[in-house]
Amino acid sequence: MAVEALPRSPRANPFARIGATLLDVLQVLGEAASLFMASVRSISAAPADRHRFVVQMVRVGTDTLWIGALLSLFVGMVLVVQAAEQVRDVTQEILGPIVGLAMTKELGPVLMAFLLAGRAGSAMAAELGSMTVYDEINALRTMDIDPVRFLVVPRFLAATIALPILILYADFIGVWGGAAVVALDPAITIPVNTYFDRMLEWVHFSDFVVGMSKGAIFGMIASIVPCAFGLRTRGGTEGIATSTTAAVVWSFILILVFDFLIVRVTFALG
């Protein structure tokens, strides 16, 4: 018996798959950019929504404060141990600048942004995804309440303001984690005073400004991307899980892409 060949699904064609993926990526970026613009336009209404903003600030804080402290402490400690081994034959006096500059300019902002995207961002995507799937967003629309103003702007502002503060906090704890290793590890021969003195010679106020500016931008990404994924959720519980995962992955990717761009532009500008 002759078997009739089934028509080949366009998705089976590798070029079609690449094209579809590319279109998906562009659509996600477009939706996130459009949501960002809509949020910025709605910020003027924020004073009336300060209660929701405060609630989101508290959520972001409670989601990230303790685990952020733990993360920063151990990152500061491991930086000293790793760097001490590498500079053993040169001088351990540069341990302070290494930890200080790494924490303020790079590790503090990126780690805290990842933490915010992973904890608070995933919660935002899941919450908005659930609200989308169960018609709560549509219910808001039928009540002439703009979901962007009501739901996205408080989260966007909370993350954008909270992340720079969390980065300062992470920098402080990371530096003290490094200091603890300097004080207690017998393999490290410099005194803690030298660690701090050298750090203060090298780390300037502008380094904190760069780190905190990055934090504000990463905060926007870590809130807008999850909110965009939450609002485009389709298909019940499975859809919420898929959106949440995708929101975290895309937040991580965009944070690193913007990190590179900011560093490149900052260096180019001297």
Tokens of 247: 């929101």
Contact 164, 109 (CB under 8 A): no
Q: Is 131 in the site for another protein (CB under 8 A)?
A: yes
Q: Is 134 in the site for another protein (CB under 8 A)?
A: yes
Q: Is 70 in the site for another protein (CB under 8 A)?
A: no
Q: Which is nearer to another protein, 132 or 223 (CB)?
A: 132
Q: Which is nearer to another protein, 6 or 143 (CB)?
A: 143
Choose the stretch contacting another protein; rule: CB under 8 A; options: 60-68, 74-82, 118-126, 128-136: 128-136
Choose the stretch contacting another protein; rule: CB under 8 A; options: 64-72, 104-112, 140-148, 177-185: 140-148
Q: Is 143 in the site for another protein (CB under 8 A)?
A: yes
230: CB partners within 8 A, 6+ apart: 124, 125, 126, 127, 128, 129, 131, 132, 243, 247
**Helix ranges, 134-235 (H):** 136-142, 147, 153-184, 192-202, 205-231
Q: Is 135 in the site for another protein (CB under 8 A)?
A: yes
3-state secondary structure of 144: coil
Q: Which is nearer to another protein, 33 or 139 (CB)?
A: 139
Q: Is 138 in the site for another protein (CB under 8 A)?
A: yes
Size of the site for another protein (CB under 8 A): 14
How far is 104 from 118, CA to CA, in rounded Å? Answer: 21
